[in-house]
Chains A and B, each alone.
Chain A
């Protein structure tokens, strides 16, 4: 089971009302390489991966939910109390017509999230390389998002998330090394 921790992983700040950036950030909320896809990808793969890396998939998958909450917080703060006109000018008119101010699992272009974003092959190497690729793609998305805003507070939170992708990618690559080992128990380091 999971226990909710009533705090963010990182203190998220934004310095202005900016629904335009909120729309772009949706890519990391409900996009193919976003945090929802990441969490569900790892937490689904863990049921068939070799025992020695289940812990890692569980822990990274859980951290991704903390990142999903950070993205939601950014979107919430960037759009809170924005008028329908402001949302429309930011390209969120169609979103507003359907969802008002509610979040929805969709990407920056408004395409709804789909399970086909996440792969599960049942082969440990295929799955782990999928995960490494997903982390590198998410890192790239964070770079493009950092490039699109001059809000240093928002950049700050996005830089944290970008660095986490780098760490996760390294851990998955270590998991590949562990999977490659011949012996069941090894003192790897």
Chain B
């Protein structure tokens, strides 16, 4: 459904920054960034799934996982 929508980057780590460094930072690139104009007849979710996920079309769906409690943003 969603191929990998997460991008990683590795920030420069200076020697005088007291907070423990985060070595890998991430951001999300949702699927709308790769579609200029939605093609016709894309496969659809059922109405129940569509409401739950916030879109009628699987190819426009973007997963987001809370980073709270040490979770990281992932695409399953």
Residues of A within 8 A of B (CB): 10, 139, 142-143, 146-150, 155, 159-164, 166-167, 169-170, 173-174, 177, 188-189
Residues of B within 8 A of A (CB): 28, 30-32, 35-40, 51-55, 60-62, 64, 66-69
**B39 CB contacts on chain A under 8 angstroms:** 189
Q: Report the nearest B residue to A174, measured CB to CB.
A: B37
Q: Do A164 and B68 contact each other (CB < 8 Å), given the known contacts A174-B37, A174-B38?
A: no
**A160 CB contacts on chain B under 8 angstroms:** 51-54
- Contact check, A189 vs B67: say whether CB atoms are below 8 A apart: no
Q: Do A170 and B66 contact each other (CB < 8 Å), given the known contacts A163-B55, A189-B40?
A: no
- Contact check, A143 vs B37: say whether CB atoms are below 8 A apart: no
Task: Say whether chain B's binding surface is mostly helix, strand, loop, or mixed.
Answer: loop
CA distance A173 to B40 in the complex (A): 16
Shortest CB distance A150–B (Å): 5
- Contact check, B60 vs A146: say whether CB atoms are below 8 A apart: no
**A173 CB contacts on chain B under 8 angstroms:** 32, 36
**B60 CB contacts on chain A under 8 angstroms:** 166-167, 170
- Contact check, A169 vs B64: say whether CB atoms are below 8 A apart: no
**A155 CB contacts on chain B under 8 angstroms:** 66
Q: Report the nearest A residue to B73, measured CB to CB.
A: A143
**A148 CB contacts on chain B under 8 angstroms:** 68
Choose among A143, A159, A169 the residue that contacts B54 (Cβ–Cβ < 8 A). Answer: A159
Q: Do A150 and B66 contact each other (CB < 8 Å), given the known contacts A177-B37, A189-B39?
A: yes
Choose among B51, B55, B67 the residue that contacts A167 (Cβ–Cβ < 8 A). Answer: B55
Interchain Cβ contacts under 8 Å between A and B, 10 examples = A142-B64, A147-B68, A150-B69, A160-B51, A161-B54, A163-B54, A164-B54, A167-B32, A173-B32, A174-B38
CA distance A188 to B39 in the complex (A): 10
CA distance A109 to B21 in the complex (A): 28
Shortest CB distance A188–B (Å): 7
CA distance A160 to B62 in the complex (A): 10
- Contact check, A177 vs B36: say whether CB atoms are below 8 A apart: yes
**B66 CB contacts on chain A under 8 angstroms:** 146-147, 149-150, 155
Shortest CB distance B9–A (Å): 16
